[in-house]
Amino acid sequence: MSTRQVAMCSVQLLYALLASVTFAEREPPLRAIVWGPGLRGDFTLPVRYIFIKIQNKNGNSLPEVSPSDLFVEFRDASSGSIKQFQADLLRTAEGNTSFLYRYRPHNSYPGNIVFNVFYKRQRLASETINGPIYSEECDCPSGTQRWLMDQARCPPISPQILTDLKPFPIIRPEYNRKVRVAICTDQQVMQTFYDLPYSVSVCNYIIKQNRIYRKCMGEYVGFTMFVDAILTSLVRKVKLPDVDFIVNLGDYPLAKQDEQRYSPQIPILSWCGSEDTRDVVMPTYELVEASVHMMRRVALDIFSVQDRTSHPFESRLPSAFWRGRDSREERLQLVKLSQNEPHLLNASITNFFFFRDQMSKFGGKTPHVSFFNFFQIFSSTLSASDKHIRETSGNKSKKILIDA
């Protein structure tokens, strides 16, 4: 091979190497995977949220991503101008491998917006959110069918709802509603608890032409604020059918299995239930408030808890932990158990209302502990939600459920 040919081959080889290097540089080494209901403009929530995960070109998640290296922005799809939202970037329960970006629009936007994700100043994802985008405060209801199927993407039939409502034939479509038996039964239910104003608080809610009405009975009806909040949020988004129902505002179920005081039986919506009652359990008032008022007056919610509880399980103490007031005698028994078995359980009363004469016996009041600290220090928590004490053994934890 001549010198000229060798030189030409060398030049060609050099060009090939440079081309491969240039291609490698252009190939993005990382990518962002984004998903979640916050990418759907037609699905209005009090706070919208999007999941973000940073992956390498092989599709593997980066083991450690610093939140300070992530940057998210919204831009108007037409003008390119920045759109400002109240927003948070939080870690999920997976730790520093995936994140949740939540935002609360305080105004409605008629057009499309673009959601961009940057990692170390490099844009890794761009998604268009089709408008209009309504704020939580917008009174912009759509049809029930469209909201359930297209926007909320609910399944056609919920097995849990069918199970909860099976004992009540009055609500079935084939039932003769012309006799107005439902309204009569509502009045019977209210009358049944009329003589128990200090132990029972119930409300008869009626939704008529997408307006909310209620009539309550009992001394303590302040918890209507939570039912009002979720219903108000719903009627802003969807045109609800005309309906009336009973809500139990107390923390103890009311619908007996063998109820004889009124007939036919109708469902009572409650914060709680049990195996020997028929109350239809709905999300607790704390969860309702944390959802409707998230990123406003509520700091503790299901998203913020994930961000603050990524403490390695192996480094936590192998004991249970509980704090609460003296609302039932069983809670005092729990504190006594803690006194006898301090290596297994740390339980104490934060405030005495009903058993003040026994304060010294149970160690007096102890300071309130932030819920976020439960997961940083202790291996499990105690939930005041059941009528019996149950132990679940394991290498690292014991869980005890005790009546509220």
Residue-wise pLDDT tens digits, 224-278: 999 999 999 999 999 998 888 899 998 888 888 877 666 667 889 999 888 888 8
Mean pLDDT of the chain: 79
Angle at 300 between CA 294 and CA 304, to 5 degrees: 85
Sheet strand arrangement including 70-76: 82-83, 70-76, 113-119, 122-129
The stretch 308-331 carries a mean pLDDT of 77
The stretch 163-187 carries a mean pLDDT of 60
Higher pLDDT, 188 or 349: 349
Residue-wise pLDDT tens digits, 49-85: 999 999 988 888 888 888 889 999 999 999 999 998 9
Secondary structure string (H, E, C) spanning 232-279: HHHHHHECCCCEEEEEECCCCCCCECCCCCCCCCCCEEECCCCCCECC
Helix, strand, coil abundance in the chain, percent, nearest 5: 30, 30, 40
Sign of CA dihedral 292, 296, 297, 303: positive
H/E stretch holding 125: strand 122-129
- For the chain, where do the domains classified as CATH 2.60.40.10 start and end? 30-129
Q: Which two tokens stand for residue 26?
A: 């252009």
Q: Which of 41-45, 175-179, 308-312 has the lowest mean pLDDT?
A: 175-179
Residue-wise pLDDT tens digits, 90-134: 888 776 678 999 999 999 999 999 999 999 999 999 999 999 999
Residue-wise pLDDT tens digits, 210-224: 999 999 988 889 999
User: Is the pLDDT at 376 greater than 70, yes or no?
Assistant: no
| Fold adopted by 30-129 | Immunoglobulin-like (2.60.40)
Confidence band of 400 (pLDDT split at 50, 70, 90): very low
Asked if residues 86 and 106 have their Cβ atoms less than 8 Å apart, the reply is yes
Q: For residues 402 and 346, what is the distance between their CA atoms, to the nearest angstrom?
A: 14
